Each structure stands twice: as structure tokens, then as C-alpha cells.
Amino acid sequence: MKQPFTIDLGQLRALRALREHGTITATAATLHLTPSAVSQQIAALSRSVGVPLLIRQGRLVHLTPQALVLLGHAELLQAQLERARADLSELAEGQVGRLMIGAFATAISGLVAPALAELSAVRPRLEVMVREMQAPECFTRLDSGELDLAVTVDWRDAPHRGDPRYARRDLLRDPLDVALPATHPLAGRPLVRLDDLAEQPWITGAPGSPCAEVALAACAAAGFNPKIRHVTEDWSAVIALVRTGAGVALIPRLALPTPPQGIVIRALGGHGPARRVFAAVRAGSEHSALIAPALAALAAIAGHRGQSAGLASPRPKRASATSPGQGVRRGAPASSR
């Protein structure tokens, strides 16, 4: 069984130079080596590949047919090395590479997917992968390096802003609007207050989920505890239940269909209930050539949505990414949807 061989690129370079310059002396001068060093490199390469590479005729040397075959492969190797150098250069500039993003479902459809369209226009060779994911799992994955960027929301037990392990980029304030069946007696009113719905059956998310917590807190502030009849984590299911008259609900604006069919949406206005959507990355990585453009694209989409759909965007900070001083820490499990 033949032993596998390895090729030293420096030795291969010496063989290529010998083919181009014809003599050991001229090759040595080109490579700034001694003739003895050139001869030793080619002899070592010959031993590595297990075939003769030179034929000596007096003081002259000629390349063997095996050497010519090897040099044919050397051209391919050199071209591949040049591609590798170019790719490494583009990686340093953020032109190529792999970026893993974790986000909850409505953030994927409302923010991440449009941001990827913008990102692909300026980084066409960047490979981006998206995984639907909630907190605190997204922070566990950030810690392990499985994720590069997480899009999530604040909630009662949410990560705070002071954790130095993470950098945070606020994206938007996503108001929760009242959703009523189109046939509801209050559907014709231009303004609906939460306390008008105190006796209605309600549809909420699972206990402990961010939107359920926001909805319950809003109802409590309006002076009542809602009669929860249906519980689901799927916004399309919530809308379907509202449409059939099964109850009323508070739905974040990111999750609303456009236009809503069979339901009536009424904004609570002012400082009504809302969830705050943000992006988080490992502290320091927000300035990397791969992550900074993704953060900028997310912020641009969030700003556009805030202007066109009434989602209140936070006051803009720097155009690239947040400072490492803004951080988050992991909290209790929650579903952002």
C-alpha cells in the first residue's frame, strides 16, 4: 500500500521556477537562495511524491515527464490558493462568511426576512441562516457560538441592559392593538377602551409569554382581570378565533395581517401596551464586518416599519451597532412569537 504524500508549497515553487528559468543557478538567483538549497528542495519534493523530477545531463538538468504532470497540478493549486487569499480578504471585509440569526416568528417575517433582502444587495456572497428561536435559548446559543445574532423582546423576567457579555440594539416598540370580530357590537366605534371589554371572553398567549404578560398587565391597569377562554401561541390562530367571534385579543402590530380580514383593529394609543423588540449579539462582535451590516439592515427595516405601519421606533443611535456597554442577561423561558 502506497503511503500518502504531502507537498511542500515552497518546494513546488522551486520546481516551477526551475521550469521557467532553465537552470539551478538562475532559479536560485530568482528565489534568493543558494543553488545547493534549490537542489535540496527539489530532491526533497521528489522523495515526497515518490517519483523522479529531474534528469541530469552533464551540468544541465531537465524536468521529467512526472515533473511536468506535477506542475500541471501546481497551476491548479496556485489558482486555488489565490482564491483562498481573495476569500480571506473578503471575509475580513464582511463580503463572505456565514451568519446565524435566531428570532421569534413574527420578527422573522416582519424584520429579519426584509433585512436579508437588503443585506443580500450589499453582501451577495454572505451566507445567512435563520432559526426560529425564543429567549432564553437564543442567549444560550449566543454564548456557545451557535448564533451570531438574536432578535427577541423584553418581558417581565427579560435580560437586563447591563450585562457586559452582550451588546444590544433596540429595534422598535411594537404596540398591541385590540382585535374584535367584525360583527362585534363595539366594532363600529372609532375608539374602544380596554375596560369596555371587561366582560368579554379573551384569547391570550400561554401564561408567562411576553404578550400574555403585557395583555394581563394592560387589563389590570384598566381595572379588570380578563376572562381567558382560549390560549394559543400562534397569531394566525388568535386571528382565526377572533374572526369567528370566539373572543377578543390584544395583538402586536408586527403580527397583524395586511389588511386584516374579518376582524376590526383598534389602537389603544398613547402609552398603551407594547412589546419592545431588540437585537442582541456577543459584546464586541457588533463591530465585526459580518455582524455590523446585519444590525444596520435590521435597524433600517425597523425604522421603515415604524414610519409606514405606526410602529414606534426607538430614538436612533449610531448607524452601525450598539456600544458594548449596552447588554442583556438571560431570564426565564418565554415565547415571543
CATH number at residue 194: 3.40.190.10
CB-count burial class (<10 Å; 0-12, 13-18, 19+) for 65: exposed
Asked if residue 337 is part of any domain, the answer here is no
320 falls within a domain: no
Phi, psi at 162, each rounded to 5°: -100, 5
Note the pLDDT tens digit of each residue in 262-287: 899 998 866 788 889 999 999 888 88
Report the percentage of the chain scoring pLDDT > 70: 82
Q: Is the pLDDT of residue 155 over 80?
A: no
Same structural domain, 186 and 167: no
164 with 119, same domain: the answer is yes
Q: Looking at 234, 266, 298, which one is the last position of a domain?
A: 266
Evaluate whether residue 254 is within a structural domain: yes
Sequence-distant (≥ 6) Cβ neighbours of residue 34 within 8 angstroms: 28
83, 120: one domain = no
Q: Using CB atoms within 10 A of its CB, is residue 80 exposed (0-12), middle (13-18) or buried (19+)?
A: exposed
Q: Answer yes or no: is 299 within a domain.
A: yes
- Statement: residue 95 has pLDDT above 70: no
Provide the residue range defining the domain that includes 165: 97-172+278-308
Residue 269: its pLDDT value, please? 64
Locate cell 403580527: which residue? 255
Burial class of residue 265 in the structure, from the number of CB atoms within 10 Å of its CB (0-12 exposed, 13-18 middle, 19+ buried): middle
- Of 38, 68, 92, the last residue of a domain is 92
pLDDT of residue 94: 59
> What is the per-residue pLDDT across 2-46, written as a single tens digit (0 to 9) for each?
556 677 888 888 888 888 888 888 888 888 889 899 899 999 988
Query: Which of 170-174, 198-202, 329-333 has the least mean pLDDT?
Result: 329-333
CB 187 within 8 A of CB 330: no
Q: 335 in a domain, yes or no?
A: no
314: left (phi over 0), alpha (psi -120 to 50) or beta: beta
Burial class (CB in 10 A: 0-12, 13-18, 19+), 81: exposed
Q: Are 155 and 134 in contact (CB under 8 A)?
A: no
Say if 126 falls within a structural domain. Answer: yes
Report the pLDDT value the prediction gives residue 225, as an integer from 0 to 100. Answer: 95
Query: How many other CB atoms sit within 10 Å of the CB of residue 34?
Result: 13
How far apart, in whole angstroms, are the C-alpha atoms of residue 210 and residue 200? 22
Number of C-beta neighbours around residue 96 at 10 A:
18
Domain endpoint, select from 71, 92, 113: 92
**Which pLDDT belongs to residue 140?**
85
**Beta carbons of 220 and 165 less than 8 angstroms apart:** no
Predicted local distance difference test score (pLDDT) of residue 86: 57
Going by the DSSP 8-state scheme, the letter that residue 158 receives in this structure is: -
Same-domain check for residues 206 and 137:
no
Question: If pLDDT is split at 50, 70 and 90, which confidence band does 332 have?
Answer: very low
- How far apart, in whole angstroms, are the C-alpha atoms of residue 247 and residue 241? 7
Which range in 49-58, 158-167, 291-300 is most confidently predicted, on average pLDDT? 291-300
Cell numbers linked to 111? 424584520
Torsion of CA 173, 285, 298, 90, to 10 degrees: 170
Whole-number Å distance between alpha carbons of 278 and 210? 13
- Do 195 and 230 fall into the same domain? yes
- CATH code for position 29: 1.10.10.10
Spatial distance between the Cα atoms of 248 and 206, rounded to a whole number of angstroms = 15
Number of domains in the chain: 3
Q: Which of 133, 141, 147, 142 is nearest to 165 (CA)?
A: 142
pLDDT of residue 201: 97
User: Are residues 225 and 246 both part of a single domain?
Assistant: yes
Cis peptide before 259 (omega within 30 of 0): yes
Confidence tier at 261 by pLDDT (50, 70, 90)? confident
Give the single-character DSSP code of 312: B
